[in-house]
């Protein structure tokens, strides 16, 4: 039976990998706003994705949390509608708008039925162009944000993340949580919120994509209505963040039965020519699936954790390779020893030819699985625009994966993985683990 399986596998593995079957149009509105569009008329709705480059890293000095709070207020009333009336209007139209902010982007994800498109776009426009930011709403949402900040103070995972960021990035906005602190959020005024709004929104930083029951002309007109009156620009970029952490272990005592560890060091920028080999390396090393080396060594062989993963974080102003693991306090030291050993091993020996081949088959086959619905496709396309990838990347990406050689992989492994630089931040009561600095 086993041989039969092997034979079948070989047959399958040699078939051409799937290509993402989406036809992307590059659209420019009459007013000059650009977007990527996939027309998909079989279901009568559209997913629209907007992103503004900048995000919470654009917070003014001393106003940490202002952009996060401002984002939470966008759906709390606009154009003469209060928060409840705004929600009611959204519900009547059965449309949904989600506003999220990250370090480098503010994103707005909308979906609307074809028959309600015009009314939905008018409502969305009001939240972007003329949010009310009234004091009652500011205070109510501030209360929600403060509740989240208090929760983070006793959550081991948040404690680890915030300490790691602070040690890595120091005073750069990346070094502190985007929600701000209780003190900074308590001190924010309506003027701070208005200033935060001005920093984030601008025509020079918006990226748009749409997928669904809409034509290029309709999308062009829609964008001019929705975004045409935005100011030309927002706040200038904040400049690169300097990586200031060195290798070691930091233990943050916290009374909990299972420790959480965050670990990593400096990474690689998205536009680095070595990014693709680095991406493949990470996939094999700690990327999500059961098959990664860290899952095999830490979970499958030793049962030291339920899950372990690593990822590349190429951010706008700095980059990291990061991982996370949770182990019982009595076993965290062993998990860390195994991770160190694997880190050193991949730096020294890279991947085997078989690992590279398996990773290529997985990555090229799995690429098409990401395009599963209008909203996911819209998010991928807006992400590609922000990264500066051409439309053509959808067709060439798998070829780029396949073109990576073992020699390149092993050269990049030695470049990326720096066992001496690896720093662990452990929150819990890990037994037999001493902080080194």
- Using the rule CB under 8 A, is 40 a contact of other proteins? yes
- Residue 94 makes contact with other proteins by CB under 8 A: yes
Contact 103/174 with Cβ under 8 angstroms? yes
Among 170, 202, 248, 365, binds other proteins (CB under 8 A): 365
Question: Quick check: 100 binds other proteins (CB under 8 A)?
Answer: no
Residues 124-153 that bind other proteins (CB under 8 A): 140, 143-144, 147, 150-153
Q: Are 224 and 31 in contact (CB under 8 A)?
A: yes
- DSSP letters of 231-252? -S--PPP--PPP----SEEEEE
Among 304, 339, 356, 384, binds other proteins (CB under 8 A): 304
Task: Name the packing angle between helices 353-367 and 275-286 (round to 10°).
Answer: 100
Do 182 and 142 touch, CB atoms closer than 8 A? no
- Angstrom distance (rounded) from CA 250 to CA 262: 10
Least distance between other proteins and beta carbon 112 (Å): 9
Which is closer to other proteins, CB of 153 or CB of 337?
153
Smallest gap from residue 181 Cβ to other proteins (A): 14
As measured in angstroms, the least distance from the Cβ of 104 to other proteins is 27
121: how many CB neighbours lie within 10 A of its CB?
A: 20
Comparison of 58 and 427: residue with beta carbon closer to other proteins: 427
Number of residues lying near other proteins (CB under 8 A): 76
Per CB under 8 A, contacts with other proteins among 43-72 are 43-45
Rounded to a whole number of angstroms, the minimum distance from the CB of residue 91 to other proteins is 4
Residue 403 binds other proteins, judged by CB under 8 A: no
Q: Is 368 in the site for other proteins (CB under 8 A)?
A: yes
DSSP label of 331: T
Q: Which residues of 194-210 are buried (b: 16+ CB within 10 A; e: fewer)?
A: ebbbebbbbbebbbbbb
How many Cβ atoms sit within 10 Å of the Cβ of residue 165?
22
Closest contact distance (angstroms) between CB of 242 and other proteins is 32
Per CB under 8 A, the list member of 240, 369, 407, 420 interacting with other proteins is 369
309 near other proteins, rule: CB under 8 A: no
Q: Say whether 327 sits in a helix, a strand or coil.
A: strand
Judged by CB under 8 A, the stretch of 25-33, 187-195, 362-370, 383-391 that binds other proteins is 362-370
Closest CA to 337 of 236, 429, 392, 263: 263
Site string for other proteins, 371-400 (x = CB under 8 A): xxxxx-------------------------
Which residue intervals of 235-390 are DSSP H helices?
275-286, 293-294, 332-349, 353-367, 374-387
Kindly report the number of other CB atoms within 10 A of residue 341's CB atom: 12
Q: Which of 326, 379, 397, 423 binds other proteins (CB under 8 A)?
A: 326
Interface residue with other proteins among 79, 198, 272, 358 (CB under 8 A) is 358
C-alpha to C-alpha distance for 380 and 373, rounded to whole angstroms: 11
Query: Should residue 79 be labelled a site residue for other proteins when binding is judged by CB under 8 A?
Result: no
Nearer to other proteins, 269 or 329 (CB): 329
Q: Is 418 in the site for other proteins (CB under 8 A)?
A: no
Tell me the CA distances in angstroms from 312 to 317, 321, 368, 379, 409, one per residue in order.
Answer: 14, 5, 21, 19, 15
Closest contact distance (angstroms) between CB of 339 and other proteins is 15
Q: Which of 407, 241, 396, 366 is nearest to 313 (CA)?
A: 241
């Amino acid at each position: 039976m086993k041989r039969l399986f092997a034979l079948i596998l070989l047959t399958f593995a040699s078939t051409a990998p799937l290509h993402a079957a989406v036809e992307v149009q590059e659209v420019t509105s009459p007013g000059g706003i650009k977007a990527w569009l996939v027309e998909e008329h079989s279901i009568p709705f559209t997913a629209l994705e907007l992103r503004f480059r900048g995000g919470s890293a654009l917070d003014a000095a001393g106003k940490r949390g202002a952009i996060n709070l401002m984002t939470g207020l966008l759906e709390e009333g606009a154009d003469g509608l209060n928060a409840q009336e705004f929600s009611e209007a959204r519900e009547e139209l059965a449309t949904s708008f989600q506003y999220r902010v990250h370090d480098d982007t503010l994103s707005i994800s909308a979906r609307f039925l074809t028959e309600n498109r015009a009314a939905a776009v008018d409502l969305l426009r009001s939240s972007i162009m003329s949010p009310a930011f009234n004091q009652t709403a500011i205070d109510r949402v501030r209360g929600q944000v403060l509740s989240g900040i208090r929760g983070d103070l006793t959550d081991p995972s948040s404690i680890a993340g915030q300490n790691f960021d602070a040690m890595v990035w120091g005073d750069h906005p990346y070094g502190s949580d985007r929600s701000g602190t209780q003190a900074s959020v308590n001190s924010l005024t309506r003027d701070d919120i208005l200033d935060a709004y001005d920093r984030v929104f601008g025509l020079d930083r918006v990226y748009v994509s749409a997928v669904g029951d809409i034509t290029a002309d309709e999308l062009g007109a829609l964008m001019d209505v929705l975004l045409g009156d935005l100011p030309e620009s927002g706040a200038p970029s904040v400049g690169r963040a300097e990586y200031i952490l060195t290798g070691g272990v930091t233990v943050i005592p916290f009374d909990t039965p299972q420790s959480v560890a965050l670990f990593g060091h400096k990474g690689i920028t998205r536009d680095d020519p070595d990014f693709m080999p680095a991406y493949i390396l990470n996939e094999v090393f700690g990327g999500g699936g059961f098959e990664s080396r860290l899952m095999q060594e830490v979970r499958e062989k030793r049962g030291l954790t339920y899950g372990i993963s690593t990822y590349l974080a190429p951010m706008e102003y700095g980059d990291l390779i990061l991982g996370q693991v949770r182990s019982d306090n009595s076993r965290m030291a062993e998990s860390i020893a195994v991770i160190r050993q694997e880190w050193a091993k991949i730096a020294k020996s890279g991947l085997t030819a078989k690992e590279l081949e398996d990773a290529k088959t997985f990555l090229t086959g799995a690429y098409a699985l990401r395009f599963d619905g209008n909203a996911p496709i819209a998010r991928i396309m807006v992400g590609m625009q922000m990264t500066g990838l051409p439309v053509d990347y959808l067709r060439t990406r798998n070829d780029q994966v396949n073109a990576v050689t073992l020699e390149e992989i092993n050269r990049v492994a030695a470049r990326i993985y720096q066992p001496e630089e690896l720093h662990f931040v452990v929150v819990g009561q890990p037994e037999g683990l001493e902080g080194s600095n």
